[in-house]
Amino acid sequence: MSAFHFEGLVWHWPIAIYLFLAGLSAGAVFFAIMLKHFKLAHEAWHSPFVQAAAIIAPVAVFGGLGILVFDLTRPLDFWKILVFYNTTSVMSMGVLVLMAYQLVLFAWIACVFQRRITQLLGKRLPIVQRLLNWLVKQEAAITGILVILAISLGAYTGFLLSALIGFPLLNNPVLPLLFLISGLSSGAAATLLGGVLLRGNPNGVEVRFIHGIEIPLILVEIGLLFTFFAGLILSGGQSQVAALNALGFGFWGWIFWAGVIGIGLTLPLAFNLWMKVSADRKFAYVAVTASFSLIGVFLLRNFILYTGQMTGT
């Protein structure tokens, strides 16, 4: 059995990229909101990290949706997903969340960068000006809804797969939580990487704040991964077969142990702990740690998607 082509495989790597990007977008937004709310307040708009998140979040979600549309066998008919809804379909509800998320995301970005946008516009387009002022008044509500939508989006990437009842590895209640947490940590990593690339201070308050959340997040993720596979193995039957097949020797076993556990979780955790005790953080430290995190989450998406479809009930 080859790692990328096998009997019963329906969804290929574009879906893994889509799941990765959607989770990353949700995570970036989540951390940008946290940064603004707890640390930066009205200074948020000129933080390179918030700016990075404000670029990454929409680009990632658009990119992910683009990949999703091109992965359809009839890409030109994608509008039918927007017109017709099915309440029992996770995908349909996810599309609804995605649409609302994008709308509220732009509203929030407009709120955060209102001052900058006003500067740029000057006296032109008074209607945009009025809309901005109205949005800023609603900022608390927008922020609250966006947090809910971002968490929904992150969890949705897992629910999308856990609805597939024929595959015991995917049809698992821990999966949405695992994807949510790893999505958040990928968002944090992307925000950090983007921020330092935009010449943000690698020793600044933002980096310290995000790293402070990242360490417990990685620990939770390790715990979730353990629960995920321990649960499968203890279930016995095909669930056990699926788990042992995924974790055992072979291509995907290597991806999991070296890629997800090694590069994605252990090294970032070690680096974070090291940076916590060492006096100051340098560009290379932050960038490398964030890149490792991103690679780990991306590999996790592929690992779950492919090994999940290998073993049916």
Interface residues with another protein (CB under 8 A) are: 8, 10-11, 71-74, 77-78, 80-81, 83-92, 95-96, 100, 137-142, 144-145, 163-167, 309, 312-313
What CA–CA distance (Å, rounded) separates 21 from 6?
25
Minimum distance from residue 15 beta carbon to another protein (Å): 9
Whether residue 27 contacts residue 183, with contact meaning beta carbons closer than 8 Å, is answered with yes
> Between 10 and 127, whose beta carbon lies closer to another protein?
10
> Between 46 and 137, whose beta carbon lies closer to another protein?
137
Task: Please classify residue 249 by burial: count the beta carbons closer than 10 Å to its beta carbon, then call 0-12 exposed, 13-18 middle and 19+ buried.
Answer: exposed
> Between 62 and 85, whose beta carbon lies closer to another protein?
85
> Between 24 and 81, whose beta carbon lies closer to another protein?
81
Minimum distance from residue 7 beta carbon to another protein (Å): 9
- Gyration radius (Cα) of the chain, Å: 20
> Between 163 and 215, whose beta carbon lies closer to another protein?
163
> Between 84 and 249, whose beta carbon lies closer to another protein?
84
Minimum distance from residue 204 beta carbon to another protein (Å): 28
> Between 159 and 283, whose beta carbon lies closer to another protein?
159
Nearest-CA neighbor of 138 among 173, 168, 112, 162? 112
Minimum distance from residue 20 beta carbon to another protein (Å): 18
> Between 142 and 192, whose beta carbon lies closer to another protein?
142
Minimum distance from residue 258 beta carbon to another protein (Å): 28
Minimum distance from residue 150 beta carbon to another protein (Å): 14
Minimum distance from residue 112 beta carbon to another protein (Å): 16
Minimum distance from residue 248 beta carbon to another protein (Å): 23
Instruction: Please spell the DSSP secondary structure of the chain, one letter per residue.
Output: --SS--TT----HHHHHHHHHHHHHHHHHHHHHHHIIIIIGGGGGG-HHHHHHHHHHHHHHHHHHHHHHHHSSSGGGTHHHHH---TT-HHHHHHHHHHHHHHHHHHHHHHHTHHHHHHHHTTS-HHHHHHHHHHHHTHHHHHHHHHHHHHHHHHHHHHHHHT-TT-TTTS-THHHHHHHHHHHHHHHHHHHHHHHHTT--TTSHHHHHHHHHHHHHHHHHHHHHHHHHHHHHHH-HHHHHHHHHHHSSSHHHHIIIIIIIIIIIIHHHHHHHHHHHSS---HHHHHHHHHHHHHHHHHHHHHHHHHHHH---
Query: What angle is formed at CA 97 by the lines to CA 292 and CA 74, rounded to 5 degrees?
Result: 85
